[in-house]
A and B are shown apart, each in its own frame.
Chain A
């Protein structure tokens, strides 16, 4: 006599969060359901009314609008609504109107609350704040992918295979070779009185010793690398990898309070399947022409895929990819100077945009500029720097970092200027901001010295920080600029729902995903006088300081990471299928898990944008 509604079970319990309920509960839930058919245009909930049920859309579609009539969401098959009003005692705030003829399943409010009480995993879905859900998603297993320990979470000490093999500086090359053979290691640390003074690899013995006829009786100091790059023992595998990529080394001594405790090698990283960036960077340094560099650079998409496959965080991946971009630029500058001779006056190669923020993914456009010493004389030195810039910009283009469409490149005279002119530029941007300047502002306020005379750059940086922090008008302009791009409201079937109720076919993960957060972080950082450049650092630096609550900063950082990972995964999928890595993702590519958490991430950004907008409009932004 009992009715088993398989067609209803199959639907309801395939959808989140009903899929979180145990199977023995299904029959009871189904029994409590009632069904209603609503024609297109009819309204089931209105502000002020009382809602008594959780509504599940079985077929059709609905639109949710706020009391002012702005579209908040469009929902389709399998989506639910009415939970928020139930959670606040039934009071309806938004109107719900049928976009299509719709069949609704209704779960009575009492059943809903008892399910929420008994099943936290069910209740979780309906929490008003998405921040915590995002955090859990990031901390837990990111989606159904294989659970691979992430480089950023493996302590370096866990990767040390054995204690370091150490010799005093008085040891001979022969001693070192014997020790390496006996201990089966490829590298020894040269240590005097507990202090690391050098590192010697088997390769050094070969290339700096035997190959050039140095006697094996000579002390190891004659062929070792003195004062090598090292890392502290309390860092993570990722830091080791980044250090190897940055310094182009394959062995890193690990120091515990200055005392050598081991050596981490690129081979150790290889066990984590992600050593390739280290080898790529050493390849870069071996190249002697642009063609060679372009060949190496073509490996970049593969690196991205391997990082994504190893479940690296977006933060780690972008840092590595950016470090490779950096290495390429440095090598191009070295090659250019080999060709043109030493620079006539000190210079700084400035990098702007995503590379400056260490947030590059696949090959991006190049954004760069040249900062010259004030001794620069266009008549005398102009030709040199023009050639230098052209060689590097052309080289970058050949390596896949295509010319900047806005011509923000050192090869453009406007962006190849001495310090005094740069100061004047910034004075203009800060002092009389206008819409056209703002495009440059968002590029040049993410600025970093990539190569060259660091002190020269510091002068500029000091000038800029000093000028911006207290300039309210400029900050208000920046705030307005940060509200230029908005994340979508959500998804509607396989479409992206954007402000005003329009639909996009694809989700632009750059402009509707990461850029709104990057822009917010920049405004917060500038207003608090922070000189940090990466979005994560900026948000960490400003957390809890006036503009942004600690909670808001944490939510925003998680939103940034989640959106960035989604973007990287999309790019990795594209690369694997032989396509160009782009930023346009069809909603059908998203798993339910990703969809739900992306919506949470968007909500975090929209909320903080709204807060900024309010402050900005009411003139309270400072």
Chain B
């Protein structure tokens, strides 16, 4: 744990050596924020993916929503939303969840176009997601496919943060108590009726601000307190 970020930083440099010139190398060239930075000096990007399923090896990314945080403020001008065109058909079981259907997805951009855009936004920032393994594993898989090279992200998982805190206080939660909406509820954050990548990314970004505020804000929280 203690050596994690230097490990991360080491990993970034090693991957940079293997990465082909292009978007991935550009991303890996930018140093990660320091572990010791107070959170108000760190730039975050809340990311949410909608996918055709949960298996990064088989399933595909359908949309990506991003919301940036700077100086502990969300700036909506920097947020973005991308719709992707999958190679295969969208299984009905997943369409029920994300409400993206084939003809709509056909309007989307190919993965080869979306990933560079995302990597550029993530450069120098910390990735934030609720239950981050989905986001990070799908993105790693995409990089391996596109660039034949792995990727690494400094990551904050709002679900992990919440669980850590709950474990420390030994609170028992009802089942589903770690779902994004349930945690937001406890912080007095509004309910968002729509669910899409952008709205969930915004919901995650707001939750992170609330979690930081509850842990003492900029004065007490450093990046290392948040990283996985």
Binding site for B on A (CB under 8 A): 1-8, 11, 30-39, 58-60, 100-103, 106
CB-contacts of B107-142 with A (<8 A)? 117
A-B contacts, 8 of them at CB < 8 A, read A7-B193, A7-B199, A33-B77, A36-B74, A59-B190, A60-B188, A101-B188, A102-B188
Partner of A8, one of B76, B77, B81, B117: B76
Q: How far is the CA of A4 from the CA of B117 in the complex (A)?
A: 18
Binding site for A on B (CB under 8 A): 65, 72-77, 79-82, 117, 187-190, 192-194, 198-199, 202, 205-206, 209-210, 213-214, 217
Partner of A30, one of B72, B76, B188: B76
Among A1, A31, A36, which residue has the most Cβ atoms of chain B within 10 A? Answer: A1
Partner of B73, one of A3, A5, A32, A36: A36
Query: Do A4 and B189 touch (CB < 8 A)?
Result: no
Q: How far is the CA of A35 from the CA of B72 in the complex (A)?
A: 9
Partner of A59, one of B189, B199, B202: B189
Q: Top 3 closest A-B pairs, CB basis?
A: A37-B209, A35-B74, A101-B188
Instruction: Point out the residues of chain B lying under 8 angstroms from A32, CB to CB.
Output: 76-77
Give min CB distance, A104 to chain B, whole Å.
Answer: 10
Query: Do B202 and A7 touch (CB < 8 A)?
Result: yes
Instruction: Point out the residues of chain B lying under 8 angstroms from A5, CB to CB.
Output: 76, 79, 198-199, 202
> Contacts A2-B81, A6-B199 given: A34-B210 contact, CB under 8 Å?
no
Give min CB distance, B105 to chain A, whole Å.
Answer: 16
> Contacts A1-B82, A30-B76 given: A36-B202 contact, CB under 8 Å?
no
Query: Do A101 and B187 touch (CB < 8 A)?
Result: yes
Query: Do B73 and A35 touch (CB < 8 A)?
Result: yes
Query: Do A35 and B77 touch (CB < 8 A)?
Result: no
Instruction: Point out the residues of chain B lying under 8 angstroms from A11, CB to CB.
Output: 190
Q: How far is the CA of A102 from the CA of B213 in the complex (A)?
A: 11
Q: How far is the CA of A615 from the CA of B189 in the complex (A)?
A: 47
Give min CB distance, A257 to chain B, whole Å.
Answer: 67
> Contacts A34-B76, A36-B209, A39-B213 given: A103-B190 contact, CB under 8 Å?
yes
Query: Do A4 and B192 touch (CB < 8 A)?
Result: no
Instruction: Point out the residues of chain A lying under 8 angstroms from B81, CB to CB.
Output: 1-4
Q: How far is the CA of A1 from the CA of B82 in the complex (A)?
A: 5
Query: Do B65 and A7 touch (CB < 8 A)?
Result: no
Q: How far is the CA of A11 from the CA of B209 in the complex (A)?
A: 20
Q: How far is the CA of A102 from the CA of B210 in the complex (A)?
A: 9
Give B188's nearest chain A residue, CB to CB: A101
Give A35's nearest chain B residue, CB to CB: B74
Give min CB distance, B145 to chain A, whole Å.
Answer: 22
Q: How far is the CA of A39 from the CA of B192 in the complex (A)?
A: 20
Give A77's nearest chain B residue, CB to CB: B190
Query: Do B76 and A35 touch (CB < 8 A)?
Result: yes
Instruction: Point out the residues of chain B lying under 8 angstroms from A31, CB to CB.
Output: 76-77
Give min CB distance, A58 to chain B, whole Å.
Answer: 6
Give A60's nearest chain B residue, CB to CB: B188
Query: Do B194 and A7 touch (CB < 8 A)?
Result: yes
Among A35, A39, A59, A60, which residue has the most Cβ atoms of chain B within 10 A? Answer: A35
Give min CB distance, A7 to chain B, whole Å.
Answer: 4
> Contacts A7-B194, A101-B188 given: A38-B76 contact, CB under 8 Å?
no
> Contacts A4-B81, A5-B79, A8-B76 given: A58-B210 contact, CB under 8 Å?
no
Q: How far is the CA of A36 from the CA of B217 in the complex (A)?
A: 12
Given contacts A4-B81, A35-B205, list 14 more A-B pairs with CB under 8 A: A1-B80, A1-B81, A5-B79, A7-B193, A7-B194, A31-B76, A32-B77, A33-B76, A34-B75, A35-B206, A38-B213, A58-B190, A60-B188, A103-B206
Give min CB distance, B225 to chain A, whole Å.
Answer: 17
Partner of A2, one of B72, B80, B193, B209: B80
Give min CB distance, A167 to chain B, whole Å.
Answer: 75
Give min CB distance, B161 to chain A, whole Å.
Answer: 14
Instruction: Point out the residues of chain A lying under 8 angstroms from B72, CB to CB.
Output: 36
Instruction: Point out the residues of chain A lying under 8 angstroms from B214, CB to CB.
Output: 39
Query: Do B79 and A35 touch (CB < 8 A)?
Result: no
Give B199's nearest chain A residue, CB to CB: A7
Query: Do A1 and B117 touch (CB < 8 A)?
Result: yes
Q: How far is the CA of A484 from the CA of B214 in the complex (A)?
A: 44
Instruction: Point out the residues of chain B lying under 8 angstroms from A4, CB to CB.
Output: 81, 198
Give B114's nearest chain A residue, CB to CB: A1
Give min CB distance, B81 to chain A, whole Å.
Answer: 5
Q: How far is the CA of A32 from the CA of B192 in the complex (A)?
A: 20
Q: How far is the CA of A376 from the CA of B51 in the complex (A)?
A: 98
Q: How far is the CA of A24 from the CA of B199 in the complex (A)?
A: 21
Q: How far is the CA of A31 from the CA of B68 in the complex (A)?
A: 12
Query: Do B79 and A3 touch (CB < 8 A)?
Result: yes
Instruction: Point out the residues of chain A lying under 8 angstroms from B190, CB to CB.
Output: 11, 58-59, 103
Give B69's nearest chain A residue, CB to CB: A35
